[in-house]
Amino acid sequence: MKASHVREDGSLTMVDVSGKAVTERYARAEALVRVNEQVAQALRGGTLAKGDAFVAAQIAGILAAKQTAALIPLAHSLPLAAVDVAFDWPEERVLRVRAQARTSAQTGVEMEAMVAAAIAALTIYDMTKALDKAIVIESVRLLEKRGGKGDVG
């Protein structure tokens, strides 16, 4: 399989999507944030000195999704119809950051969803690092994408 962003001579290129149809695109991603008990309690109780970490992370994730083309060199600028960032606790000390993105475009929004999840997770780290610098962000991954040839999930 040929890499989509690599020319025959090995140089890089932005994929030409001009011949593709505009379709509805959707992607869902997640990041896991492993924290200690003190951080988990502070997040759950809303007792951080910096303020509401979830609101800050949600806004950061949404803003990051909107800036994906500026962050990922060969990503296309997309007219995002919706971006959502949410949180839950699948384990006592594991915060799951869930992000989803939607557009009607010629290319998918999986990068936007993953960037939103990653930046929201980094914002949680930033908001809680005073309590524990050993927080681990892991498993930033695409869970689902729809609307193109290579649907996932």
Asked, for residue 150, whether it belongs to a domain, the answer is no
pLDDT at residue 5, rounded to an integer: 66
Asked, for residue 51, whether it belongs to a domain, the answer is yes
As for how many domains the chain has, the answer is 1
Asked, for residue 9, whether it belongs to a domain, the answer is no
Beta carbons within 8 Å of 151's beta carbon, 6+ residues apart: 145
What's the domain range around 141? 23-145
pLDDT at residue 3, rounded to an integer: 65
Q: Which tokens belong to 153?
A: 């999930």
Beta carbons within 8 Å of 71's beta carbon, 6+ residues apart: 64, 115
**CA 54 – CA 59 distance, rounded (Å):** 9
Asked, for residue 122, whether it belongs to a domain, the answer is yes
Average pLDDT, 10 consecutive residues per value, the chain (153 residues): 68 83 96 98 91 96 98 94 98 98 95 98 97 96 91 81
pLDDT at residue 124, rounded to an integer: 98
- Here the CATH number for the domain that contains residue 138 is 3.30.70.640
DSSP secondary structure letter of residue 12 = B
pLDDT at residue 18, rounded to an integer: 86
3-state secondary structure 48-84: CCCCCHHHHHHHHHHHHHHCHHHHCCCCCCCCEEEEE
The torsion region of residue 58 among left (phi > 0), alpha (psi -120 to 50) and beta comes to: alpha
Burial class (CB in 10 A: 0-12, 13-18, 19+), 121: buried
Active site residue 84: no
Give the residue among 115, 108, 83, 98 at the shortest CA–CA distance from 24: 108
pLDDT at residue 149, rounded to an integer: 76
Asked, for residue 88, whether it belongs to a domain, the answer is yes
Question: Tokens 């498993």 appear where?
Answer: 139
Asked, for residue 152, whether it belongs to a domain, the answer is no
Render pLDDT for 18-55 as a digit per residue (tens, 0 to 9).
888 899 999 999 999 999 999 999 999 988 888 899 99
Asked, for residue 67, whether it belongs to a domain, the answer is yes
Asked, for residue 3, whether it belongs to a domain, the answer is no
Catalytic residue among 88, 126, 132, 151: 126
